Amino acid sequence: MSQQSNRIIFGGAEFQADFKTGGLLAWVGAGPDGKTLTYVRGKVLRFAPPKVFQYTFAMGQNDKASRATIELVPETEATKVTVTHDEWAEDDPTYAACADGWPRILSRLKTLLETGRTFKPH
C-alpha cells in the first residue's frame, strides 16, 4: 500500500514500525497546529506475515495500552480480515474513539482493495 493511501486510511497519519517482536510502532502526523504529533504508539507483540500482526495500542498521551490483533485468513475467493482490539483498562478514555475508528478504517481499506482508490475521510 502506498504511503499516500495509508495516510488517507488512517486519517492523515503515517505508519512507522519496526516489524519484530518488541519493535516500536507509531502513527504520526501533523497536529491541529501543524506540528508533528504521535496519534498512536505501541510495541509489536507478534508479526507473522501474511497471517498475524499483533501489537499494543496507546492513543495520544494515554499510558494505558490495549492490544490489537489483525488476522488474515485466505478463503476461496477472498481473504477474511479479523480485527480484535482487547485488553482494555476499565477506565481507558480511548475506547470510544477506537470503537468508532475501526469501522471507518476497515471501510476505507475495503474500498482501496476493491477499487484501487481510497477516499478522503470527512
The domain segmentation of the chain, as residue ranges, is 3-115
Q: How many CB atoms lie within 10 A of CB 38?
A: 16
DSSP 13: P
| Count of Cβ atoms closer than 10 Å to residue 3 Cβ | 9
Bridge-based pairing of strands 36-48 and 52-59 is antiparallel
> Span 52-57, mean pLDDT?
96
- Once rounded to an integer, what is the mean pLDDT over residues 36-55? 95
Judged on CB neighbours under 10 Å (0-12, 13-18, 19+), 77 is exposed
Average pLDDT over the chain, rounded to an integer: 87
Give the CATH number of domain 3-115: 3.30.530.20
Residues 56-98 have pLDDT tens digits of 999 988 889 999 999 999 999 888 999 999 999 988 888 888 8
pTM: 0.84
